[in-house]
Structures are given as C-alpha cells and as structure tokens.
Amino acid sequence: MHSIASLLDERHRAAVGRLWEELDSRFIREGFCPTPYPHLSFHVAEGYDLAALAPGLARVAASTPRLRLRTSGLGLFTVPAHPVLYLTVVRDPALSEFHRMVWEEVKGFCTGRSPHYDPSSWVPHITLAQGETLSPRLPEIVDLLWRRDFNWEIEIDSLSFIYDDGERQGVEMSFNLTPPSATFRVE
C-alpha cells in the first residue's frame, strides 16, 4: 500500500527512529514497523495515478501553511491479526481541514483506497510498531513505554507520496507547505 503523508520534522523523525531501534533490539522482532519513514498518513491506497496526483498534491501544499501537531500518548488499533501501537495525534480543526483537502484532491486518482483514512473515520497517528508479531509482546512493550512523555509538538512542513511495492519503500515526490513566514499555531 502507498500513502500520501507528511514526514515528521528532523527532531521527531530521529526520536521515533530511536524508539523503533529500541523496540527492535529489546524485543528482536524484525518488521515491527514496516516503513523506514516516521510519518503521518492522510490517504492510503493500493495504487495512484502519479501524473494526475502530482499537480493536486502541489496545489494542496501551496495553499496550506505549515502545521503544528500535538501528540498525546500511546494508542492501539486492536485488529487481532495486525495490531498497531502508535502515538496519538490530536485531531484539531486545522489538521482535519488539511486532511479533508488532501482526501478530496486525491480520491479520484487512486485505486483500492483504505477506508480507515476516510475523513469520517480517520484517526491520526504515528506508528511505533505493528503486525502479528507484536501481539505476544504488547504487554511488555506498553510497560516499557507508558511512563514516557509523548506530549510532543511536531511541525509538518511537507506533503509526500510514499511508495511501497512490497519489497522497497521510498518517497517518490514531496511538496513543501507554505514557508515559515506563513506558519500559524493552533491551540
């Protein structure tokens, strides 16, 4: 599955990367997090028409000031065969509007989209670990992490297409949100 997402700022990308490394080394479970890019996904689908998608993503990015996100702790999607442990992202009006704009712009240029990212059901999150190998170790992982401060403020400054062909993943294209002079803060 491919995604339309925002990569985290450098500081938080490194922090999530350290968490992934810690979980992998402590619990020795390869594939806990199947992406090399800490990110926040807005739209996920099996396929996209990239030639049609690029101008739409560029339009959304150009019309959106950089966003400040807040995380507020740990969350869990409890799908038995594929649980996901994540950092919860506070869904505020600015983030919801940005998500709606992305969804509207890209929905006509994809096939096999995931209903979990529909604006009516989207739960913004940053994945820490996922997959069936997570289930038996989940109590230990939560015990390790629950005392940590995950009240972060993260700047989102781009909108990207992350491809995943089943063997490789990468950022195919990325568009900057409007410059720092236009940055606003949502409380």
Model confidence pLDDT, tens digit, residues 34-57 = 677 899 999 999 999 999 999 999
Report how far residue 112's alpha carbon sits from residue 66's, in angstroms, rounded to the nearest whole number. 29
DSSP 157: -
pLDDT attached to residue 26: 84
Mean pLDDT of the chain: 89
DSSP 163: E
pLDDT by residue (tens digit) across 114-167?
999 999 999 999 999 887 777 888 899 999 999 999 999 999 999 999 998 878
What CATH architecture is 2-177? Alpha-Beta Complex (3.90)
Report how far residue 8's alpha carbon sits from residue 153's, in angstroms, rounded to the nearest whole number. 10
pLDDT band at 183 (very low <50, low <70, confident <90, very high): very low
Read off the amino acid at residue 143: D
Which single residue is written with the structure tokens 């999530």?
Answer: 16
pLDDT at 27 over 60: yes
Pairing mode, strands 125-130 and 84-89:
antiparallel
pLDDT attached to residue 182: 45
For residue 22, report the phi and psi dihedrals to the nearest 5 degrees: -65, -45
- Non-local (6+) Cβ contacts of 143 within 8 A are none
pLDDT attached to residue 29: 61
pLDDT attached to residue 180: 56
> In the chain, what are the domain boundaries?
2-177
